[in-house]
Amino acid sequence: MQTTQEAGASEPGAGERRRRELLEAADRVVLRDGPKASMNAIAAEAGITKPILYRHFGDKAGLYQALAVRHTDALLDSLRAALDAPAERRSRVESTLDTYLAAIEARPQVYRFLMHPAEDSQSSERGFDVGLHSAPLLRRLGEELAQVVGERVDLGPGGEQLARIWGHGIVGMMHAAGDWWLGERPCARADLVAGLTDLLWGRLATAGNREDGPGF
């Protein structure tokens, strides 16, 4: 005979809801502990045992990947909204850069969990090193931004390759500059946005919009 819990788990969508609840619990621990967030702490926050957490995600790397997708999807939605806002092109570039920086400023512990290994190497579980897993996240952001650039800006012959160069280059610039700024706070966010926009503005200012795309 099925228990009530087993019956609930077999309902349509129950597994996805449970996974979402566990990710929300993981988010709360990451917001508190940053890169040192442990599977034990996350399991305790969710009110389950660690073996049950492993059953859902496999290991800390699996949980990291699920959290990375969750946060990257949300960030990409925000970046696309900034890029597509009804405004002059330079303003949209500034808004996009500011959206990224505002996101990492608002949740610095989540950013550090996704981008940096734990400071205490003894706290890593099963040899997990967050730093080894951040590169795919940055590559995904680069490819997504390349697609947006390619759809909106007429870069002429070889434009698809150049859009990918720009996409990955811009993400690399945002990541490096944002990492430095978040750690040292050497200037106001607005000053960093203005400086990075000036750096990007060269050829982008004179490029035309694609006739077959949404424009930029």
- pLDDT per residue as tens digits for the range 38-83: 899 999 999 999 999 988 888 888 888 888 888 888 988 998 899 8
Question: pLDDT tens digit string along 87-124?
Answer: 888 898 899 999 999 999 999 998 888 888 555 444 44
Average pLDDT over every residue of 5-16? 59
User: Binning pLDDT at 50, 70 and 90, where does residue 1 land?
Assistant: very low
> Of 1, 49, 43, whose CA–CA distance to 21 is shortest?
43
* Ranges of each domain in the chain: 4-208
So what CATH class is 4-208? mainly alpha
* Contact criterion met (CB below 8 Å) for 19 and 102: no
User: Binning pLDDT at 50, 70 and 90, where does residue 132 land?
Assistant: low
Which residue intervals of 118-210 are DSSP H helices?
Answer: 134-152, 159-184, 189-206
Q: Pairing relation of β-strands 208-209 and 153-154?
A: antiparallel
- What's the start-to-end Cα distance of the chain, in Å? 60
Q: Which residues contact 101 (CB under 8 A, 6 or more apart)?
A: 174, 178, 181, 189, 192, 193
> Of 212, 196, 213, whose CA–CA distance to 90 is shortest?
196
- CA dist., res. 204 & res. 113, Å (int): 33
Specify the DSSP class assigned to residue 34.
G
CA distances from 100 to 2, 81, 147 (A): 47, 12, 17
* Contact criterion met (CB below 8 Å) for 151 and 210: yes
CA 140 to the chain's CA centroid: 9
Percent of the chain with pLDDT over 90: 38
Say which residue, 105 or 154, is predicted with more confidence.
105
